[in-house]
Structure 1
């Protein structure tokens, strides 16, 4: 399907055309998911069994709510956070705030009311088009999310975060391998082929020694 509206910018027409022809967008609409990103989490969960009923899960960068929906549908207790608002979702507590604000971690911990079994982050900064700059910026978010995860995860818990092409920086990857039993990089089929995104998935949190 081609978009013929000439009043739109070329980049907007390309984005809209890609959306209209994207099978995951169509499937998300049929399934009632807020975004195609839901299928990325579904695929990772099918591979690694990340989500189980009764788990406490924190969803960073939650808007528009696709990942939170998947987790809640599997019976998890979910607390989501994002700069952007989302329409209410059943079984999901949502905080509209900047994760990088000093008071965000405490707000998440208070709302969750107990240790987390999974911290997942689909956060990403606005891209500049300069690959090395974009990589540094997203890794800053990943590192902040990881430091937070170490504070709230119970032993055996998991951490999932979006990274860009090039994967996780060596120093952070070494920390993950020390703190978790298994660390993998995954590019779900639902990620667009032209996208540089992939995900780092760390499972089997060993706990932090005092």
Structure 2
């Protein structure tokens, strides 16, 4: 154990046995990540909770009484932040989380294990909310192959699917937030979003690891009537 440039103790994980180098590096990063430690202290299920918290603190997206859908929600860090912000724990707002994986119960969050790309998903979610959503958010990322072009196509496909879902369920004036990578969303997707939303921007919260290429696409001011 040694100190890093900031004076914090740095934990080094030894290799050996069946542990691969990639597993060693991941474990080292987790053990030395201040957001991972902070999440444990604050009771959040993942460090990702701070990404949404920072974005919301800046752009004021989550308000009391809102209806929110969290796509690819497991393990639930974003849903925790949303539930606290909209007051769903006290019965004011609503948060519906969906994922292909199971997710343990969270106060103020209704969970559905389903694929948001299923054609029936938008109607199911609207029924669960009792109407449209005010905010659709996604911290999803596909499994990577190591092949850059393939991975970029997978990421783009996931974001496009999430955006199409959002357009189906959002109320007028609603917002959409989704993880993208590299330089952000591609030109075609941006053009479609600019047709449907008043403002489009890319944001990178401080909680995103600096060595990561991830950033977030934020679309606000949903226009339900596309004719204008």
For Structure 1 versus Structure 2, the TM-score category normalised by the shorter chain is over 0.9
Q: Does 2:155 align with 1:145?
A: no
Could you give the per-residue CA deviations for residues 98-156 of structure 1, whole angstroms, max 9, x where no partner exists? 22233322322221211100000112111111122111111111111111111111111
Please, which of 75, 78, 83 is the counterpart of residue 67 of structure 1? 78
TM-score of the aligned structures, taking structure 1 as reference length:
0.95
CA contact (8 A) 1:150 1:208 kept: no
Structure 1 unaligned runs (5+)? none
CA contact (8 A) 2:117 2:165 kept: no
Distance 1:209 1:133 in 2: 32
SS at match of 1:192: coil
Deviating more after overlay: 140-149 vs 105-114: 105-114
Distance 2:222 2:204 in 1: 22
Distance 1:52 1:181 in 2: 19
Deviating more after overlay: 175-184 vs 96-105: 96-105
Could you give the per-residue CA deviations for residues 49-77 of structure 1, whole angstroms, max 9, x where no partner exists? 01011100000010000000000011141
Aligned length: 210
Distance 1:107 1:183 in 2: 27
Dislocated runs of 4+, deviation >3 Å: none
- Aligned positions of 1:11-160 closer than 5 A: 11-74=22-85, 75=87, 76-160=93-177
SS at match of 1:166: coil
CA contact (8 A) 2:49 2:77 kept: yes
Distance 1:137 1:47 in 2: 29
SS at match of 2:65: coil
Distance 1:15 1:209 in 2: 45
Deviating more after overlay: 124-133 vs 39-48: 124-133
Distance 2:41 2:144 in 1: 30
Deviating more after overlay: 20-29 vs 95-104: 95-104
SS at match of 1:204: strand
Q: Does 2:183 align with 1:195?
A: no
